[in-house]
Structure 1
Amino acid sequence: MLGDANYLNPVIGASVTSGNVYGLIYPGLIQSDFDTTTGLLNFIAVEKSLLPLTNSGLKDQKRSAIARSWSMADDNLSITYTLRDDITWNDGTPLTAHDFRFSYELYGNPVIASPRQQYLAELVGADKGAIDFDRAIVVPDDTTLVFHFYKPVSERLALFHTSLTPVPKHIWEAVPPAEFRQSGLNQTPLGAGPYTLTSWQKQQQILLESNPLCRLPKPGNIKRIMFRIVPDYTVRLTQLQTGVVDVVENIKPEDFSGLESASADIDIKSVGLRVYDYVGWSNIDQEAYHRDGSLLPHPLFGSADVRRALTLAIDRQSIIDGYLGPYGVICSSDISPSIRWAYNNDVRPYGYDPNEAVRLLEQEGWVPGPDGIRQKDGRKFSFALYTNAGNSRRNFASVIIQQNLREIGIECRLEVQESNVFFENLRLRKLDAWMAGWSIGLEIDPLDGWGSDLEKSRFNFTGYRNSRIDELCMLAKEELDPVDARPYWMEYQEILHRDQPTTFLYWIKETQGFNRRVEGEEVNILSTFYNIDDWTLNPSATVSQ
């Protein structure tokens, strides 16, 4: 991996690496399967599935989940889960519905500031500003879990929002919310999943071992998994070529042929489109926001016309041609072409047009200064563009972006930060401009990234606020059949395209390298590691240590 996990705790973990690791440590309520034909996400419990499944889904259905079954109320105001009664946390304490209720109180606690607070937005009380947990989540007994909503909710959205990962109540209930993020328990997670944490050497490696006590999903066939943190791409590639590591994500297309002929015997697998890179522009004045909560326009990026000019000035196709090739597609919003039922084909990405960019900037009052850098009211159009260390694709793109902006009179300085520092600064909204990426949710629910309530929308790093976006997201949620929400998502994409709260760069067809001694892996849009508990190692193969 290019970066370390930030937290091995599902309540506050926000990075892809964190999710990959804690997803193996903690149990899941239900399983999911993605229908590539429609772009819809299906949900699976032990005894039932929501929709007819593809062949891969039928295979996956035999995998266990905590929920034996669920039942949606006829009025769509509640969902009831029946849980297994034979599951324990790794210290032998039974895992019950009380753990879920307790965990949801953690997810919803503003002091803890979980990035997943928006998942609780339909629970009873949320419409009045504070969830009434006594009424919203009811636990009649250890194996019955009932969620109540303040309005009718579609079954898919109910399943998506009520299946957040639980943490053990008996371990965490003594930790005050103000100490949650700093608690040493985050370094020694107690789970019930297929693997347990053996050691975590920060910025070096995370070591997991197969959990013989696990019943859901089954214990991993591979006895030990080591996540090595190697920020340098060339080093990661060399370690894959020489057999020092078995799996490396995000291989450059130009390296495919060399890897496939390497002595380590490597397979290249690709999947997409779920991940996109973007340039984030702070829409609000960060200094004013942190000083007194003011939501003033950012002095550089507060205007939609300026942000549109920045997008027009960036030659996205040249980044794709120079790095991703056929594995990149220009991006126009955060709804992926893979989400076929909701994707707006009529929204055409802006082309590279520096002349139009200059026209928009000068219309906004940004004119060339004596040194060639544009200025307005005595302020230069000069800023630092931050990104995380170790991502060669973003390093490549940022240099092109810097050059493109220089050509229209904008000074863009490049700054690289260690991954966890970078993402923590994003979380705290300390950066004015940055380059990062998203792995989107496959059930469309974007309020956590674009919602106008910045205290609840913890992934809204830009501070973008648009009441119509809020309204469209809520209207879409009210449709009991998700496909009926299509018109709302069409308009949603048009607004994001117009306002450009970020510059959407490109969708990435992810490319992963596997040593062929690993068998049974199925790369899936859900995750590179979604069936890792089914992987096996060829006993006749050897690997360097």
Structure 2
Amino acid sequence: MTCPPRAPRRRALLGLLAAAPWPLAWAHGDEAAGPHSHAIAQAGSDVLTVVGPWEMTGLDPSRSGYMFARMEVVQTLLEVDDDGRLQPGLATGWQVSADGLQWRFTLARARRYHDGSEVTPASILACLQRAAVRPGVLQLAGITGMAVQQSELVLSLRQPFGPLPYLLTHYSTQILAPASFDAQGNVVAILGTGPFRIRSISLPQQFDVERVEAAPGRAVQRARYISVSRAETRTLLVQSGQADLAFSLDPPSIRALQGSSRAVLLSAMLPRTTLLKLNAGHPFLADVRVRRAIALCIEREGIARALLRDADLGATQLLPPSLARWHDARLPPLHTDLKQARRLLEEAGWRLGADGTRWKDGQKLELALTTFVDRPELPLIATALQEEMRQIGIAVRVSIGNSSDIPAGHRSGQLQMALAARNYGNLPDPVASLLQDFGPQGGDWGAMGWRNDEVPALLARLAAMPPGSTDSGRAERARIVAVLQEQLPVIPVVWYRQTCAVSRRLRGASIDPFERSYRIASLQWT
């Protein structure tokens, strides 16, 4: 028994979502309560105001360190340029031993923290030792020892790990002054080494910064970050002159700001993919035919065109073209085929019932899909996916919660499906991120309950290669993306283009493709 095509209804849904004001009225605490509840005072004419959807959930680098990095308060041992090439940070040079087991980093001299204390090798070592025993990227490297030898930091490894320098660009490895910590090692203040220092913090919504040393001319001297959850509120703040930089804009906001007398729009494609994370250990999703059926029912180009206003963002594979070494143009693209999707479900033993959903052994093919509102497009994409899966007989319950619900559901084993935007530029070398997602145990934002030996072995082989080699690992990368395309532990939906509104009061703005910095130090008032 087959289900008749419902293409008109699919197009009607996408049209409805495309025309709807964002976000829709989701049952999500304050999000359904109307206008944004946090009053935002008019910024002074000399204060740069940045608005985005991200709240500061604490002072620890592992929690909100990325926000203090973006506002240029803190720094890491190494930096990267727009092409992902390593650059000096608090380390001025680095080298690895012939066997790949020892790395040496030459530390910068004559640097000071924001409290005036000297940046010493011992203080850098203490921060990295702390980061190495907390959840984060350093655990990927297999570090067996850290030591300081004169002005060098020496890291010893259990086995070669080429991406190690890239881990030291991650915000969770940021360097803070000793006075930032209490006697128990908890972060109680953000005393970094960046060009801006903290003036005040009001968790979880706002913090203010100021230049450590006054810059000449019309450079920005003071700035403020404010968390504003609703995209339309961020747009109104730009239109009213209360915000100078606004990030994570949705398509209606972009349309509203096009041709604005107050702001211009900047955009750049980022190495981020909106994906459907599946619990492959769930009885319904363990069969790869079911996962492939779900992938075949998704109309990626339609979602990208209707909801993102950019059909080119339909994800034909997991890693986008912006990751040129990982994007394989020869790979057969993901596509939509409802007939094949229904056929695969039939082969897997799922028969269509009178209620329009599929049943097997007395069980209904019904799944819960979890997503969150931090990125305003996610609830709308979830609604589209719900309808598209309904058309092949899968009943989906959409739950709109917090981003923390996904890693919590992964760790508890209760998660069934989740829609999230995964940043594969979180580390400039994607090997480390992919190890987090598709290693033997899977990852919070990657595989769940998926058993595969080949991909972790290939990733381990890549990780053992020295960094910066352009040709090595080509066969391994191609095989990894092919296996992920075939097995679908996660299902790509759309890629991502960051759009930022910039006040016409400013010049010199640009988008960091790795989202490490808002680059406020280079901004000038017009």
Q: TM-score range by the shorter chain?
A: 0.7 to 0.9
Corresponding residue of 2:165 = 159
Corresponding residue of 2:275 = 278
Corresponding residue of 1:13 = 63
Number of equivalences? 464
Task: Give the superposition deviation at 1:256.
Answer: 4.1
Task: Give the superposition deviation at 1:463.
Answer: 4.0
Paired-residue identity, %: 21
Residue 32 of structure 1 pairs with residue 32 of structure 2 = no
Inter-CA distance 402–462: structure 2 relative to 1 (3 Å threshold): same
AA matched with 1:282: N
Task: Give the superposition deviation at 1:340.
Answer: 1.8
Task: Give the superposition deviation at 1:420.
Answer: 5.1
AA matched with 1:78: Q
SS of 1:413 mapped into structure 2:
strand
CA distance in 2, matches of 1:198, 1:426: 37
Identify unmatched segments of 5+ residues in structure 1: 36-40, 46-64, 124-131, 177-182, 284-296, 539-545
Cα-Cα RMSD: 2.9
SS of 1:34 mapped into structure 2:
coil
Corresponding residue of 1:106 = 130
Task: Give the superposition deviation at 1:419.
Answer: 4.4
Residue 407 of structure 1 pairs with residue 391 of structure 2 = yes
Corresponding residue of 1:239 = 237
Contact 2:305 2:311 in 1 (8 A): no
Task: Give the superposition deviation at 1:366.
Answer: 1.8
Aligned match for 2:497, one of 509, 512, 531: 509
AA matched with 1:352: T
CA distance in 2, matches of 1:235, 1:341: 38
Corresponding residue of 2:290 = 306
CA distance in 2, matches of 1:327, 1:80: 46
CA distance in 2, matches of 1:69, 1:528: 21
Aligned match for 2:105, one of 78, 81, 104: 81
Task: Give the superposition deviation at 1:390.
Answer: 5.1
Inter-CA distance 458–410: structure 2 relative to 1 (3 Å threshold): closer
Corresponding residue of 1:58 = none
Aligned match for 2:184, one of 175, 189, 195: 175
Q: How does 1:214-229 map onto structure 2 within 5 Å?
A: 221-229=219-227
Corresponding residue of 1:50 = none
Corresponding residue of 2:368 = 384
Per-residue Cα deviation, 1:26-59 (whole angstroms, up to 9, x for no partner)? 2221221133xxxxx21122xxxxxxxxxxxxxx
Task: Give the superposition deviation at 1:326.
Answer: 3.0
Aligned match for 1:93, one of 93, 114, 117: 117
Runs of 4+ residues deviating >6 angstroms: none
Residue 249 of structure 1 pairs with residue 247 of structure 2 = yes
**1 or 2 for the larger relative contact order (CA 8 Å, sep ≥6)?**
2
Contact 2:80 2:87 in 1 (8 A): yes
Inter-CA distance 106–332: structure 2 relative to 1 (3 Å threshold): farther
Task: Give the superposition deviation at 1:485.
Answer: 0.6
CA distance in 2, matches of 1:104, 1:465: 33
Contact 2:277 2:445 in 1 (8 A): no
Inter-CA distance 315–340: structure 2 relative to 1 (3 Å threshold): same
Corresponding residue of 1:355 = 339
Identify unmatched segments of 5+ residues in structure 2: 1-51
Residue 148 of structure 1 pairs with residue 156 of structure 2 = yes
AA matched with 1:468: E
Residue 43 of structure 1 pairs with residue 86 of structure 2 = yes
Q: How does 1:190-201 map onto structure 2 within 5 Å?
A: 190-201=191-202
Between 486-495 and 348-357, the greater mean CA deviation after superposition: 348-357
Inter-CA distance 144–486: structure 2 relative to 1 (3 Å threshold): same
Contact 1:77 1:150 in 2 (8 A): yes
Task: Give the superposition deviation at 1:98.
Answer: 2.6
Task: Give the superposition deviation at 1:514.
Answer: 0.8
CA distance in 2, matches of 1:230, 1:421: 20
Inter-CA distance 323–312: structure 2 relative to 1 (3 Å threshold): same
Between 412-421 and 350-359, the greater mean CA deviation after superposition: 412-421
AA matched with 2:226: R
CA distance in 1, matches of 2:311, 2:511: 16
Corresponding residue of 2:54 = 3
Corresponding residue of 2:38 = none
AA matched with 1:120: A
CA distance in 1, matches of 2:462, 2:342: 37
AA matched with 1:89: Y
Please give the TM-score of this superposition, normalised by the length of structure 1: 0.77
Please give the TM-score of this superposition, normalised by the length of structure 2: 0.80
